[in-house]
Amino acid sequence: MIQIKIAVIDADLIGRKSHRFPNLVIMKLSGYYKELGDDVELKLDYENLDQYDKVFISKVFTDTPIDEKILELPNVEYGGTGFFFDKAPDLPYEIEHHMPDYHLYDEWVYKQIESGRKRNEFKEYLDYSIGFITRGCFRKCGFCVNKKYDKVFKHSSLEEFYDPTRKKICLLDDNFFGCREWKSLLEQLQSTGKPFKFKQGMDERLLTDEKCKILFGSRYDGAYTFAFDNIEDAELIEKKLLLIRKYTNKIPMFYVLCGFDNNGKYEEDFWKQDIIDTFERIRILMKYHCLPYIMRFNKYKESPHRGIYINLARWCNQPNFFKKKSFHEFCTMKEHINGATYRYYNEFKKQYNLQEYFNMKWEK
């Protein structure tokens, strides 16, 4: 059999400075072609691509830069949400369901560590089995890439991507608890004895007593992570927070999306209301001792309150500050007095009197 020379390229690794998560597609491609006996290389630039029989480029983020001319080369194939958003074509079945090559990034990772970076930054490359046991979501949130399917369904059996030599399991499922078979799948995960986590944030609105009992009784890796993206869900989210508190004292984290207008208008009224809604979600989460993690939709940069979005993210996304200081205390810290954080806060405060939100505190 003729051995062919293949380059696989993780465009996010090349184009984003702080990107630290392996690309599952190129790991599967590598696993598949190596098993066929081909020569596969993780390529870290776009030079001399004509020296390869095939070049596969994958990217997850739409704003990762790449020269369009490269995509026109005859030996190049490319794919992923970064190129096609919600219309990304599926991988061929035999590749999609192939064991990922967990050693594809080894050389690159070891070089990073040798150059002084901390091992922990690369834990997902070194310690985790990674995959989807379910796929799809029925909610179709306007800002989300997962619009391809109308339901959640079983996707891969655990054996397809579980490597028992790896310490932990990382699931990339879109909305695991929306799957009818969630219970048997969760039990399979538990039976490995390994800590596992759902990377994308779970759908808290779907929790029930039975789900909570099993989930919070599991060996979970790190903080339980959910999402609270829409203020209209406040009542339901709060009801489920009460439920969570029946089963665990741990501190869950909630992604809090802001700066996204469902109506696509982004007018002055929206920006003001969005800040208020974000504070309100933070208030609710604080009340139940949960940590908000602010996710800013890119449009926030066009907001007249851009600086307040930045301040909110700086405050919430650093739990050491969030747990000790109110928003007011954070923005007026000695270190901030002559800086942008203080200025943004004061400018906003002059326009909008949200004292109750500015002064709320975790400890209280």
- 8 A C-beta contact, residue 177 and residue 206: yes
174 binds ligand SF4 (CB under 6 A): yes
175 binds ligand SF4 (CB under 6 A): yes
Report how many residues bind ligand SF4 under the rule CB under 6 A: 9
Cβ burial, residue 12 (10 Å; 0-12/13-18/19+): buried
Shortest distance, position 234 Cβ to ligand SF4, whole Å: 16
DSSP string, 32-91: HHHHTT-EEEE--S-TTGGGSSEEEEE-S-TTS---HHHHTSTTEEEESHHHHGGGPPPP
Shortest distance, position 113 Cβ to ligand SF4, whole Å: 33
Which CB, 90 or 347, lies closer to ligand SF4?
Answer: 90
> What's the rounded Cα separation, in Å, for the pair 174 and 171?
9
| Residues from 122 through 151 that contact ligand SF4 (CB under 6 A) | 137, 139-141, 144, 146
What binding mask, one character per residue, do residues 184-203 give for ligand SF4 by CB under 6 A, x or -?
-------------------x
Which CB, 180 or 219, lies closer to ligand SF4?
Answer: 180
Shortest distance, position 140 Cβ to ligand SF4, whole Å: 5
What binding mask, one character per residue, do residues 71-100 give for ligand SF4 by CB under 6 A, x or -?
------------------------------
- 85-124 burial: b if 16+ Cβ within 10 Å, else e: eeebeebeeebbbbbbbbebbeeebeebeeeeeeeeebee
> What's the rounded Cα separation, in Å, for the pair 254 and 244?
13
361 binds ligand SF4 (CB under 6 A): no
10 binds ligand SF4 (CB under 6 A): no
Shortest distance, position 141 Cβ to ligand SF4, whole Å: 3
Shortest distance, position 256 Cβ to ligand SF4, whole Å: 12
Which CB, 173 or 274, lies closer to ligand SF4?
Answer: 173
Which CB, 223 or 360, lies closer to ligand SF4?
Answer: 223
- 8 A C-beta contact, residue 12 and residue 82: yes
Question: Sheet of 76-79: strands edge to edge?
Answer: 39-42, 5-10, 54-58, 76-79
Task: Give the largest CA-CA distance in the chain.
Answer: 73
- 8 A C-beta contact, residue 14 and residue 48: no
Which CB, 81 or 326, lies closer to ligand SF4?
Answer: 81
Shortest distance, position 263 Cβ to ligand SF4, whole Å: 17
Interface residues with ligand SF4 (CB under 6 A) are 137, 139-141, 144, 146, 174-175, 203
